[in-house]
Structure 1
Amino acid sequence: MAESPLLRSTQLSSAQTTRSTCPYCGVGCGVLIEHDGKHITGVRGDPEHPANFGKLCIKGTTLHHTADPALLSARAQYPALRPTRDAAPQRVSWDVALDTAAARFADIISRHGPDAVAFYFAGQLLTEDYYVFNKLAKGLIGTNNFDTNSRLCMSSAVVGYKLSFGMDSVPCNYEDIDHADCLFITGANPAFAHPILFRRVEAARERRPGQKIIVVDPRRTDTSELADLHLAILPGTDVALYNGMLHLALKKGWVREDYIAAHTEGFDAMREIVRDYPPAHVAERCGIREQDLEQAAEWFATSPATLSMYCQGLNQSTQGAHKNAALINLHLATAQLGRPGAGPLSLTGQPNAMGGREVGGLSNLLPGHREVANPEHRAEVARLWGVPSLPATPGKSAVELFQALADGSVKAVWIGCTNPAQSMPDLGLIDAALKRAEFVVLQDAYRHTETAAYADLILPATTWGEKDGTVTNSERRISRVRTAVPPPGEARHDWAIGVAFAHRLGHRLGREDVDALFAYDRPETIWNEHRETTRGRDLDITGLSYPLLEAAPRQWPCPEGYSEGLPRLYSDGRFPTPSGRARFVATTWQNTAEQTNARYPLQLNTGRLRDQWHGMSRTGTVARLYSHESEPLLHIHPQDLASRQLHDGDWLQVHNPRGKVVVRARASTTVPPGQVFLPMHWGANAMAGLGINALTTAAFDPLSKQPELKHAAVQVEALAGSTELFCLRRAEDGGGQALLQALRPLLRRLDAASLTLAGRDQTVVVLRARLNAPDPALLADIDAMLDLGQDDEHLLSYDDARHQVSKRARIENGQLTAVRLCGEARAANWLQALAESGTDITPLRRFLFAPLNHAPAGLSAATKVVCNCYNVSETTIRKAFAAGESLTDLQQRTGCGTGCGSCMPELRRLGSHTPVEAMSL
């Protein structure tokens, strides 16, 4: 078997190794950072961390590449201030930056009151960072306008737990996957979004072949490939499904009346509601077979232990809180809770969304799982902080916050470690809001995010490998994050930026107590104060200290006097409600906020890719992470393409009343007719327009305030204009980010374009576009930027004015370094493969502008890479299976699937010869 160059690069010996955690999803994997004290040289999974036991997904395995010194051009390294909104940011000192911010905030507060300013942060902050800024907003300024992008991710799960159990306390842990007899995975695709947990699901299934797996998802995903039963429900019908399953459990005698009587309340009302959800009616509404509904209900209710796992499919909905509660109703009615393998396990999308919830990192929360609306809670926190009082009105949630910026009632916003100009719904609203704001501060490790274009002040923050503090994962497990290397330039820790700003602002506001309020000199002092706010609460961590966490990650609750946390909650049937009983929540089905109609007949679903994360500010710096899906693509059923006389690979306009995006089509049977799928990662840095979320709705759940990012109604039409434009440039010596940044202004001149990275041996920047007609001025600018404008011995050119075809290529040292094709681009993928491979093309010059089907023998076009660890393409895999090779033989020959394992679901699917996708574009 070949050795993976990717794995080899992570096993280099280095002088030092530092234990820390992965900065991506909420699984919370432990990592070992290899470094020389100045630079990170490798990364491995930590075999002692209980979240992953040494395993990493492809994103985690490539983490060290994101810290490559060659990528420093992507980092914010110095404070930068715009003298005017239209001017470029100019480097300033930290004193000037923070004094300016304090003066602007103090002025707005004095003129308009504390609620005229707001803070919007991320579930990627460490707990200590969160704590400082939350205290700054609510304790010093006196505004509850402090929200985070966890509002887009987990707030419905939070409300669901609180409605049912009385507190936001996840009752299960990852070990329950190993003990479950039935896994009910609903509204989640952990094969892509939480790969290491999915590896655990695969391992549990291998050990226990009798374990039943049910997957509920409108799409046929890699997760559903492992399922015994896939319920491809119609979008938004989750509550109808769960209520129908509860109806069947009652009818068949599968409910646990003894548990209901002893430990719950409100069941009689729910019993009446589910009478209106008979199987035939529910099956029709959900778009599934009645026998499949009955099978799911039986397995869920009668298995010795049923564990549900769920994520954005439930949360990102105008009915998200009730979707969560309806699922928990099923657990309560069947007593599937409080023992190994049983219970509702929500999967957090970010590395510290749980930690943010612990410190009160939402506009309606206070530290220690307290509520802004509760007078006793406000008094408790005011006493703990040593302030006279706290504001009583809940602050503005994420969507409300940006609506207030747009209408002018909020004047200034401080944005930290997040990218709302890419990730928020209804990006037209966000664009208007950030343009109208009087003052926008962006505190981030990266300086070229979409939001940076709106920032008046950019403050450089530290990031993975540089930070020190704690995070909490999806199973309530707190891990230490440790510093391995110093930050670049003048970047500072997030908590330190908050402390320095608080002191300056407090003095301007006349707060004599500010020095005592923010007397923090290191993360541990913040942790100790945060720890005290949890005393006596459901998440009591007064028993945990930095020295104890240095020894091993630990779960909460862990009160003083204990050294280990509680692995499962509610085993005794007692709940943190006034009655001590869990509550059945009266849930009835409601449709999505936006339904299809004659003008917008397609249901849009958004979600995640396997190898990218969120807005790609980090993963987007690694070229190999584009090889599985290389550009924004609309996954659409062939039937819907045919009915519009469209084809796989065509440029399409996807639009609704809020906005439009232009992307290429990917013919796919993973979505049923009438539905389409777009990955949520692509923003204005990677495509023409504002990004994918220009299409999504800002409508939100009235209880959780979480917007319905998963569903929108759209129309898909052919794009006018027939001129193809394809460009690439080899990026030498790690210059991919600098070249990307140089080319991004072109996106604003194009109606249809994508700008991405590619390559493994050689990094290549790729621009694809569609033009109404060739634009000589545009082509001249592109040629100049790609070093194709100078006519010398290295340049090959071809022009056909009659057919409006123009092509350029540069060959240096026998290798293809740049290409620009306009008017005819059939050889684009083949030329890209040549540039990526660094092949000596001296004998192939006459083929450079040949159509793809005229490429020289032995050379093939760039294709989708299924196994990123061993660089094994879909074409290679399909050919091997077509020739009769077994999966085991293929793995032994190529290594595919033996690295991080993220590609195993796709390998199994390809091996079964199931026709799922068209070949890569």
Structure 2
Amino acid sequence: MKPVCTTCPYCGVGCGLLASGDGSIKGDPDHPSNFGRLCSKGAALGETLGLEGRLLSPHVGGAPTDWDSALDLVAGKFSAAVREHGPDSVAFYVSGQLLSEDYYVANKLMKGFIGAANIDTNSRLCMASTVAGHKRAFGSDTVSGTYEDLELADVIVLVGSNLAWCHPVLFQRIQAAKSERPGLKIITIDPRRTATTHGSDLHLAVRPDGDTALFNSLLGEIVRRGRVDQAYVEAHVHGFEQSLSAAQSTLPADTGLSAEELQLFHDLWIGSEKVVTVFSQGVNQSVGGTDKVNAILNCHLATGRIGRPGMGPFSVTGQPNAMGGREVGGLANMLACHLDIEDADHRKTVQSAWQSPTICTKPGLKAVDLFRACASGQIKALWVMGTNPAVSMPDADAVSQAIKAVDFSVISEVVEQTDTSTVTDVQLPATAWGEKTGTVTNSERRISLQRAFLSAPGETRPDWKIICDVAQRMGWAEAFSYQSPVEIFREYAALSGQAAGLGGDFDISGLATISEAGYAEFTPVQWPIPSGSPGVDRFFGAGGFSHRDKRARMVPVIATYDGRRRRNIFQLNTGRIRDQWHTMTRSGKSPRLSQHQSEPFGEIHPKDADELGLKPGDLLEIQSAYGRAVVRARITDGIARSTVFVPMHWSGANSATGRINAVIAPTIDPISGQPDLKGGLVQLRRFDALWYGFAVSVAQMPASSAYSAVIKTTSGWSCELAGIEMPASWVQQARNVLNLKTGSISQMRDSAKGITRVAIHEGSRLTGLFFAASSPVTVDRQRAVSQVGTDEQALAALAGLPAVGQPDPGRLVCACFNVGVNTIRSAIHQGATTLVEVGNCTAAGTNCGSCKAELQTLINAVPILTAAE
């Protein structure tokens, strides 16, 4: 079958893919976002397409039902809530995983027909502060530049962005540009040492939340050195003097950097006109996130370094359609096509286009407040679409309880069992990536088409169709009578032309008459795409901002810092890892991706670890007033004192105590409403387990016990675990952990050393292995995984040793070629001392390149012997 051109469903880079029905995935060499490049997650998408664990039919009260019954129930409950309690008694919580057509009809239903704005999105958790900062400065939520600017720049500043792991293909493009132009300088600003810092020329380990102080210091230095673009500021900018005054109140010490580091940063940024400042979640996820964004924008506006090739501020989005969601009005404080709820002319335009009976007149509840309203009883009916807030929201335990408290709740999902779906009344089966068609917009404003290349399984339906089915039953059949996504897209594109007539930047009206065939053959295109005239590649190089006077606003921001160090109070920083995505409902299906980081961990500085009595391999308990988590301690000097970093991916389905957002306070940026996911205050202590375990089973294992982390393997599942009570029977404990109730038992025990090992067979087939000890278990994990499901003899399996002549490859480093850390170390010891040589010996790092930073770290750790030695 000819491969289908489609778009990756992971981060906001928006890579083009060539996908086939047999699950083979390749990079699309003609897509302008990636030119054929892929990251480890994108390359493994074919391993995530199975139907295991899929929701394939509607469920009500936990029991399967038919579509008509489920839809009638949903429509009836929402209609009753609106009738009895008013429009503000219902809410939608949606996702950057939705396609723009899905997003559009959900917003149309809520804002134009129900008449409230209580529809927010998980993009509130990642990019809301950028939206607010853009609107304050530009008058619109507009990204000024393009990916090409990264290759044209002389200096690239990465702020709060582990680009090498979170947007790997962009990092590959930057590294390729640096190879061609070694003079290109890369600066990473991050309190942590990450994979990105290893590929940078300068790492500035600012104190946590020190970004505003750093860019305020830069603005002051721009003025001191006489590098303000006076002509640009006078023609296009307001607020310069006030912003400078605020910036000059900042103390250099508030950055946490030395005078030498500050001067080097100032020299590079100010001395090179072609500067691109890339920022992401490390900037946005803060109580001062909007101010951080504006501190960055202030420096670019003051120097006129915006909207021209190779320069400008550049926000990179976390989700595949976070940008598309912003364009269709997916946030509770905006209307479709970048129009404003508070503006009467904007409301009138949208209502007229929709021919709707009403229109919302005030912003709705933002994510944190939305779930608080669920808990208080204000929200009577809640619809969650394509996201898992019981894991991803701060104070996640309270969010789970809030959903339970709502009189009626429904979720549209692809997965049967998630932390959120298990607490909703109705589950509606949606089509997944590869089964649906619609548009997404990436971080550089490029619209691409996700195309179906698989049949819709079971009774699943596209999200837009589910929403329209409900809307029709609520009495609005004509307005939601779409027969295909292209009809929705045409309406949305036509509305964008009217929005542009009101002075907005977003305009795709040139696509308002696109045909079915044209939509099917859609090629990636950057907006604006106005009707009857050419668009532009970049914005604001010659002014033309969206404020009524067409001038930008520099915004005064004050950097504040409380420098006190409190005993055993740590700042919790959360984020992503290389090979997993969100709450792992998709990426967790890939055995390969799960091998790199197989359990939740907490990075902690060696001196803090010493004070807490932590040793490598120990478990770490993280506690706050909101909840607790237990993760594996990872001791590293790459993190600042009094801070701890924990990945955000683990859910109740795969780690009983790994849900780190349960620990985080629901504190938000007062302007954007974005949660402070990188600033929680927690207490740490060593988790004193009585025993530790490792298990492998052909059956799916529950995430149970005091600590557990379950991952998919090639032969079944494996689990790291620990307990705080000694089992009455190790055999029964093994059966419970392995989820194997039958089968013959083989057991080895060494009471003196506190070691127990159990194997379970069904006939000659080994179905499970369980290892327990009084300290973290040492076995060849890959060997154990390969033995389960085979006719391996029990004694050989219980030995837990590598096969003869087959050394333990160790923890996976290169996910593309399954290369372990021990294999790489062996190649280095044998003389491979560069990335190219390691790649030639092991293939590691020769595909997506996401592991190159880790490979370089391994190379650096081995002394290079001279000839005399």
C-alpha contact 1:359 1:369 (8 A) present in aligned 2: yes
The amino acid that maps onto 1:20 is T
2:190 aligned residue? 217
The amino acid that maps onto 2:832 is E
Q: Distance in 2 between matches of 1:328 and 1:315?
A: 13
SS of residue matched to 2:186: strand
Match runs of 1:354-753 below 5 Å? 354-506=323-475, 514-535=476-497, 536=500, 537-544=504-511, 545=514, 550-562=521-533, 565-591=535-561, 598=566, 600-689=568-657, 691-729=659-697, 731=698, 739-740=699-700, 743-744=701-702, 747=704, 750-753=705-708
Q: Distance in 2 between matches of 1:103 and 1:789?
A: 44
Q: CA deviation at 1:497?
A: 0.3
Given candidates 757, 773, 776, the residue that maps to 2:728 is 776
Query: Cα gap change, 1:802/1:338 in structure 2, threshold over 3 Å: closer, same or farther?
Result: closer
Q: Distance in 1 between matches of 2:60 and 2:569?
A: 46
1:734 aligned residue? none
Given candidates 851, 855, 860, the residue that maps to 1:907 is 855
2:832 counterpart of 1:885? yes
Q: Distance in 2 between matches of 1:889 and 1:839?
A: 36
| 1:131-168 deviation line (CA, Å, top 9, x unaligned) | 11101111111111000001111111111111111111
Q: Distance in 2 between matches of 1:322 and 1:548?
A: 42
| 1:578-617 deviation line (CA, Å, top 9, x unaligned) | 221111001111359xx98645421211111000011111
C-alpha contact 2:48 2:587 (8 A) present in aligned 1: yes
SS of residue matched to 1:314: helix
1:74 aligned residue? 53
C-alpha contact 1:245 1:294 (8 A) present in aligned 2: no
C-alpha contact 2:211 2:292 (8 A) present in aligned 1: yes
C-alpha contact 2:832 2:841 (8 A) present in aligned 1: no
2:765 counterpart of 1:798? no
Q: Distance in 2 between matches of 1:644 and 1:876?
A: 33
1:23 aligned residue? 9
TM-score of the aligned structures, taking structure 2 as reference length: 0.94
The amino acid that maps onto 2:201 is D
Given candidates 748, 754, 770, the residue that maps to 1:820 is 770
Q: CA deviation at 1:863?
A: 2.3
Structure 2: stretches of 5+ with no match in the other structure: 864-869
SS of residue matched to 1:634: strand
Q: Distance in 2 between matches of 1:388 and 1:105?
A: 17
Q: CA deviation at 1:804?
A: 6.5
Query: Cα gap change, 1:777/1:342 in structure 2, threshold over 3 Å: closer, same or farther?
Result: same
Q: Distance in 1 between matches of 2:671 and 2:740?
A: 56
Q: CA deviation at 1:414?
A: 0.1
2:23 counterpart of 1:41? yes
C-alpha contact 1:817 1:835 (8 A) present in aligned 2: no
SS of residue matched to 2:487: helix
Q: Distance in 2 between matches of 1:518 and 1:788?
A: 49
Q: CA deviation at 1:662?
A: 0.9
The amino acid that maps onto 1:755 is V
Q: CA deviation at 1:59?
A: 0.6
Q: CA deviation at 1:233?
A: 0.5
More displaced 10-residue stretch of structure 1: 856-865 or 387-396: 856-865
1:55 aligned residue? 37
Q: CA deviation at 1:515?
A: 2.2
Match runs of 1:258-277 below 5 Å? 258-277=231-250
Match runs of 1:155-304 below 5 Å? 155-277=128-250, 281-282=251-252, 284-304=253-273
Q: Distance in 2 between matches of 1:264 and 1:880?
A: 57
The amino acid that maps onto 1:875 is N
The amino acid that maps onto 2:24 is G
Q: Distance in 2 between matches of 1:134 and 1:373?
A: 16
The amino acid that maps onto 2:779 is N
Query: Cα gap change, 1:840/1:478 in structure 2, threshold over 3 Å: closer, same or farther?
Result: closer
Given candidates 799, 816, 819, the residue that maps to 1:869 is 816
C-alpha contact 1:467 1:483 (8 A) present in aligned 2: yes
The amino acid that maps onto 2:483 is D
Q: Distance in 1 between matches of 2:454 and 2:687?
A: 48
Q: Distance in 2 between matches of 1:860 and 1:392?
A: 67
1:331 aligned residue? 300
Q: Distance in 1 between matches of 2:442 and 2:287?
A: 25
SS of residue matched to 2:20: strand
Q: CA deviation at 1:893?
A: 2.3
Q: CA deviation at 1:486?
A: 1.2
Q: CA deviation at 1:400?
A: 0.4
SS of residue matched to 2:32: coil
Q: Distance in 1 between matches of 2:823 and 2:242?
A: 57
Match runs of 1:122-133 below 5 Å? 122-133=95-106
- The two structures, once aligned, show a CA RMSD in angstroms of 2.3
Query: Cα gap change, 1:165/1:661 in structure 2, threshold over 3 Å: closer, same or farther?
Result: same
SS of residue matched to 2:509: coil
TM-score of the aligned structures, taking structure 1 as reference length: 0.89
The amino acid that maps onto 1:667 is I
C-alpha contact 1:596 1:713 (8 A) present in aligned 2: no
Given candidates 320, 334, 346, the residue that maps to 1:351 is 320
Q: CA deviation at 1:666?
A: 1.3
| 1:318-339 deviation line (CA, Å, top 9, x unaligned) | 1111111110001011221121
C-alpha contact 1:151 1:398 (8 A) present in aligned 2: yes
C-alpha contact 1:623 1:763 (8 A) present in aligned 2: no
SS of residue matched to 1:371: coil
More displaced 10-residue stretch of structure 1: 59-68 or 342-351: 59-68
Query: Cα gap change, 1:104/1:291 in structure 2, threshold over 3 Å: closer, same or farther?
Result: same
Q: Distance in 2 between matches of 1:461 and 1:790?
A: 36
C-alpha contact 2:244 2:556 (8 A) present in aligned 1: no
